Chains A and B, each alone.
Chain A
Amino acid sequence: AQSVTQLGSHVSVSEGALVLLRCNYSSSVPPYLFWYVQYPNQGLQLLLKYTTGATLVKGINGFEAEFKKSETSFHLTKPSAHMSDAAEYFCAVSATGNTPLVFGKGTRLSVIA
């Protein structure tokens, strides 16, 4: 079985500051890991995903995440926050690419001018 824990339901950063959203996973098999972003009243948009290979994954909008098996983590980072990054971010895990996603509770990112 898979599960995801997102530390911090709400993170607030200043514009231009580092963004760090934490995600730890539990999986009985090698996991596939995803970060999705949800803007208000919109659907889920894929930011990036880890399947196999390189553990540092680059996504859209300047985001990246590093898969650390020893720490069972897949934290999302962005060097410099922009006002448009304010949204809800969900970390998700699946056993393969074709099984249902298990989502974390989400982290709401606020960016302060």
Chain B
Amino acid sequence: AAGVIQSPRHLIKEKRETATLKCYPIPRHDTVYWYQQGPGQDPQFLISFYEKMQSDKGSIPDRFSAQQFSDYHSELNMSSLELGDSALYFCASSLGRLGSQETQYFGPGTRLLVL
């Protein structure tokens, strides 16, 4: 079965640079979530989209922005990178029917290292 695809899998950037992470949800999934997992930490929710509209917002820095496109893929844009942004970034997708009990399926993650 098709899974969530994330690219790139690994990314190395310098401080103050920008980065763009991409997420391709499971086919027919219309909801995308972004999570950040720091070293030895639990995943923290950043932001989510349902049908191309932002649905929830978590602890996402103002330096970060994201959007969901017409084909439901999503991109997380990160600017003015800081050392503390080094983390594993997960994307998850689900079917977003109102009131449903859909599971979030996670991608393999993008490991970002900021030097």
Interface residues of A (CB under 8 A from B): 32, 34, 36, 42-46, 49, 51-52, 90, 96-106
Contact = CB atoms under 8 A, between A and B. Distances in A.
Interface stretch (B13-21, B70-78, B79-87, B93-101): B93-101
A46 B42 contact: no
Contacts of B90: 43-44
Given A44-B90, A104-B42, A98 B50 contact: yes
A98 B42 contact: no
Contacts of A43: 90, 106-109
Interface of B: 31, 33, 35, 41-45, 48, 50, 55-56, 58, 90, 92, 94, 96-109
A106 B103 contact: no
Contact of A103 (B42, B97, B99): B42
A103 B90 CA distance: 13
A52 B42 contact: no
Given A96-B99, A100-B48, A101-B104, 4 more contacts: A44-B43, A44-B92, A97-B94, A101-B33
B101 A106 contact: no
Interface SS of chain A: loop
A45 B105 CA distance: 7
Q: Which 3 pairs between the two chains have the least Cβ-Cβ distance?
A: A97-B101, A100-B45, A51-B101
A45 B3 CA distance: 11
Contacts of A49: 103
21 contacts: A43-B106, A43-B107, A44-B106, A46-B105, A96-B99, A97-B94, A97-B100, A97-B101, A98-B31, A98-B55, A98-B94, A98-B96, A98-B97, A99-B56, A100-B45, A100-B48, A101-B92, A102-B45, A103-B43, A105-B41, A106-B42
